[in-house]
Copies of this chain bind each other. A is one copy, B any other.
Amino acid sequence: MERQRMITQMREKGKTPENQLRNEEILSLQEKDFRLSMLKMMQDVGNKLEAKMDNLQETLTKEIQDIKLKQEEMQNTITEIKNSLEAANSRIQEAEERISEVEDRLEEIMDAEQKREKRLNTNEESLRELWDNVKRTNIHIIGVPEGEEREKRTEKIFQEIIAENFPNMGKEPLTQIQEAQRVPYKINPRRNTPRHILIKLTKIKDKEKILKAAREKKQVTYKGTPIRLSADFSAETLQARREWHDILNVMKGKNLQPRILYPARLSFRFEGEIKTFTEKQTLREFSNTKPVLQQILKELL
């Protein structure tokens, strides 16, 4: 559109002389007038074409100048963009280096964490063993009503239980009580069972003698009311022992003579041998090779 308009405009400015002088007029002119007309016409043709050319030149030159200005402007923008892009690339470079640094430190942290995790596991295992060790001479008495120890010393309750249930045991264990108390210190008002009584003896042998006698007597009482005597373990060992519970009961029914050994091992008689397992995983692997055992333990492992 723009281009068409421009061409039309230029044609109007520079009309050819053909429409101004007719042939008849030329032929009727006096020689003198003809000559001057010719001169004039020639000048007119030259002037008009020249004007037209100047006009074209001016128009195009202006166009070109505009283009050049625009080009210059764009070039500046491009230069700006290049600089900006360079700056962006520098920032990316720097960011990448920071990320690498962070990744390296993360790797270090994770390595350190893995080591600490192992140490934490070792410490927890060590703590569990220490607690089991500390609790190894303890007996828990479960079921003695709260308040009994207000009238007589807790130690006395234990002595009475021994006298009531195991009259032939002898006096020795009774002289070796290091500690006798309710645990925990505080009564939890939401529990309506009496707290345990904790008896700490001096010798493991005495504890074992009493617990063995209790197992054999089946029913232990305090003032005629049934109570229970049990060994004392760390929370973790107690949990580990409980996890053998179902297997133990099934094995009892199958006459495998199962027992839980200290601290939390399962032992039983199988194919004429005593087998001992620390983890369900190893028992599972063993039972996979013994179809009879696998049948007995199915869904328990």
Which residues in A have some Cβ–Cβ distance to B below 8 Å? 2-3, 6-7, 10-11, 14, 16-18, 21, 23, 26-27, 29, 32, 34-36, 38-39, 41-43, 45-50, 52-54, 56-58, 60-65, 67-68, 70-71, 74-75, 77-78, 81-82, 84-85, 88-89, 91-92, 95-96, 98-99, 102-103, 105-106, 109-110, 112-113, 116-117, 119-120, 123-124, 126-127, 130-131, 133-134, 136-137, 155, 177-179, 185-186, 202-205, 261-262, 265, 276
Contacts and interface: CB of A to CB of B under 8 A. Distances in A.
A99 to B, nearest CB: 5
A39 B124 CA distance: 121
A124 B123 contact: yes
21 contacts: A2-B65, A3-B65, A10-B57, A11-B54, A16-B46, A21-B39, A23-B39, A71-B71, A74-B74, A81-B81, A92-B92, A92-B95, A95-B95, A98-B99, A102-B103, A120-B120, A130-B130, A130-B131, A130-B134, A178-B202, A186-B276
A85 B81 contact: yes
Nearest to A92: B91
